Amino acid sequence: MGKPTLTHIGGSGEANMVDVGDKTETVRIAVAEGHVRMKAETLALILEGDAKKGDVIGTARLAGIMAAKQTSNLIPLCHPLMLTKVTVDIAPDPMLPGLRVEALAKLTGRTGVEMEALTAVSVACLTIYDMAKAADREMAISGIQLVSKSGGRSGDYRREGN
């Protein structure tokens, strides 16, 4: 591998959608994570199912999946993709306290799904905030990052430590 380049910037500095037409189709999987830190009381309220707006975790999971499918409409230079799988897992973490979110995006295609996994996590976290903000406006969303990706010309990647 040579010097890293910004693939979405053209020779004159203009925004550029990458041509993936000559790339080989491979199975591509990306996993991303993030979390929402909140008061312990807010976490208990969510887990008891007593949030004013309803099932916070179920709604956030659905929002993340829907967002992954809309990534190319949200991020200007992303290719529209035929995702074959998207999962969003949300788990309580009393040590934060808060909720940890992990998303997986998968397809067989010519371009990666990192942005779809990151978008799913971001929107799931935003949905958690939206649904619980009446109880806790000090919630904080953080730690959104790519955990791993596989497939494609650049090969596999796994984040070392966090």
DSSP secondary structure string, 96-160? Answer: TTEEEEEEEEEEEESS--HHHHHHHHHHHHHHHHHHHTTT-TT-EEEEEEEEEEE-STT--EE--
Judge whether 50 counts as a catalytic residue.
no
Q: Do 77 and 9 contact (CB within 8 A), yes or no?
A: no
**Which is nearest to 77 in space by CA: 13, 7, 8?**
8
**Dist CA 120 CA 123 (whole Å):** 5
The amino acid sitting at 135 is: A
**Which is nearest to 119 in space by CA: 101, 95, 133?**
101
Tell me the three-class secondary structure of 100-113, residue by residue. Answer: EEEEEEEEEECCCC
Options 19, 22, 89, 130, the catalytic residue: 130
User: Catalytic residues, which ones?
Assistant: 130
